[in-house]
Structure 1
């Protein structure tokens, strides 16, 4: 019985030593990985976001030069069976007077 106790203590000590060694090795690797991801964030991610923002801005500037499409009073579009619960009841919640037509045409156009 005493031999079994000695063997179990020896195994326990060796497993603790191995765990300490592994955690010491992993600590250096974690610091290096954090440094790598920090560099990648500044060198790749932030310039990538900046390029996407520039692209969106330039596309929007190009898009603003377009004229309104001609208003065609289709019977199946812009149906108002009851008023909207905001404003005058005729404008949608995210109404854009340049893009969204009302049932009788665009705002500000007298035809």
Structure 2
């Protein structure tokens, strides 16, 4: 009876080992296929997407026009002077984009 028990345990171990090897081989093939899929997606979707975004940014940067200035009372309130420069320009002021309370710089309308 003891011999039968050892025989069944040996069979069970060999079948489990063989099953694990097969599952491992299948998982390895799946990983290679997944890596190939993501590589293709990177070249076909991601890189053209980045290129289109860069083109869009470049085109908008070079075709900028200031919107019409409307002196709304609730915007560009200066209740206290800024502690730098002339006190009217914000710290990151850009004269091409940011308006002052009385209009854009360099535009006499």
For normalisation by structure 2, the TM-score amounts to 0.67
C-alpha root-mean-square deviation of aligned residues, in Å? 3.1
Unaligned runs of 5+ in 1: none
Structure 2 CA distance for partners of 1:13 and 1:89, relative to 1, 3 Å:
farther
Does the 8 A contact of 1:80 with 1:90 survive in 2?
yes
User: Hey, what's the Cα distance between the residues in 2 that align with 1:97 and 1:21?
Assistant: 68
Count of aligned positions: 108
Structure 1 residue 5: Cα displacement: 6.0
Asked whether 1:14 is paired with 2:20, we answer: no
Does the 8 A contact of 2:69 with 2:104 survive in 1?
no
Unaligned runs of 5+ in 2: none
SS at match of 1:55: helix
User: Hey, what's the Cα distance between the residues in 1 that align with 2:39 and 2:92?
Assistant: 40
